[in-house]
Structure 1
Amino acid sequence: MLLICSSKGCRETATWELRWNNPKLHTPERRKTWLACEEHRESLSAFLAARGFLRETVALR
């Protein structure tokens, strides 16, 4: 199964999993997932981190 980057308009293969939640909406253990290619990992992570949503970043195998 081919996993595609979550960045708008990107069709590259994802190599990172960004696990996040919105503490105002989700329980602490709940995780939502965005996928990122190498090019968009930093920008997607920064977007989530600026809002206090990013919980962990994991390399896909």
Structure 2
Amino acid sequence: MTEIGIPSITLGQAPQHRFSCSRAGCRDAADWAILWRNPKIHTADRRKTWLACEPHLETLREFLAARDFPLEVRPVSDLDE
């Protein structure tokens, strides 16, 4: 009898940090939380969160600011458990 192996499928690497950067392709530890909303589709009390490592903070912040999305940048340590 021949055994048939089932290949394991990995859709991505498991995060190595509690909070990882949201920039595509970056999985470094996040230092910053960018809280933002799109006023066309989000109510004033709803905010989304992107996480950023130090090198990607300005890139992500500028992307959102260029669209006139209200945003706030906080240290990731300020996030709720």
Instruction: Name the count of aligned residue pairs.
Output: 61
In structure 1, distance between residues paired with 2:71 and 2:57: 14
Match of 2:39 among 5, 23, 44: 23
TM-score scaled to structure 1, two decimals?
0.93
- The answer on 1:48 being equivalent to 2:64 is yes
In the alignment, structure 1 residue 39 sits paired with structure 2 residue 73: no
2:21 alignment counterpart? 5
Identity across aligned pairs (percent)?
52
1 or 2 for the larger relative contact order (CA 8 Å, sep ≥6)? 1
Q: Measure, in 2, the Cα distance between the counterparts of 1:60 and 1:23.
A: 23
Residues 6, 59 of structure 1: CA spacing in aligned structure 2 closer, same or farther, 3 A cutoff? same
- The runs of at least 4 consecutive aligned structure 1 residues that moved more than 4 Å come to none
RMSD over aligned Cα atoms: 1.1
Can you give the 5+ residue segments of structure 2 that lack an aligned partner in the other structure? 1-16
State which structure, 1 or 2, has the greater radius of gyration over its C-alpha atoms: 2
Determine the C-alpha separation between the residues in 2 that align with 1:54 and 1:44. 13
TM-score (norm 2): 0.71
